[in-house]
Amino acid sequence: MSDHASIAIDDCSDDDFSLSCPQCRRNDRIDISAQVWVRQTKDGTDINEAEDRSHEWDDESAVACRACGRIGKAKDFRLSSLA
């Protein structure tokens, strides 16, 4: 996931979310399916143990609003597409 549309999760701050639900307009309950490194452990996997804990997702990544249940692609939840 290294194309120009990929976004590091650190690019989103609490004051400036890049996604918002097109149905209920909430931006604080958006879940994004992201590619992430995890460390294999005896109990399974652990993101906090991985050397590289970056998260990547793009416009085609699955997105769900946990406030109202709307599901779609990230591109449909972009603030620029909701104007």
Three-state SS letters, the chain: CCCCCCEEHHHCECCECCECCCCCCCCCCEEECCEECCEEECCEEEHHHCCCCCEEECCCCEEEECCCCCEEEHHHHEHHHHC
Q: What is the pLDDT of residue 10?
A: 44
Which residues make Cβ contacts (< 8 Å) with residue 13, sequence separation at least 6?
A: none
Summarised one tens digit per residue, pLDDT across range 32-78 is 999 999 999 999 999 999 999 899 999 999 999 999 999 999 999 99
pLDDT at 83: 61
pTM comes to 0.69
Tell whether the model's pLDDT for residue 9 goes beyond 80.
Answer: no
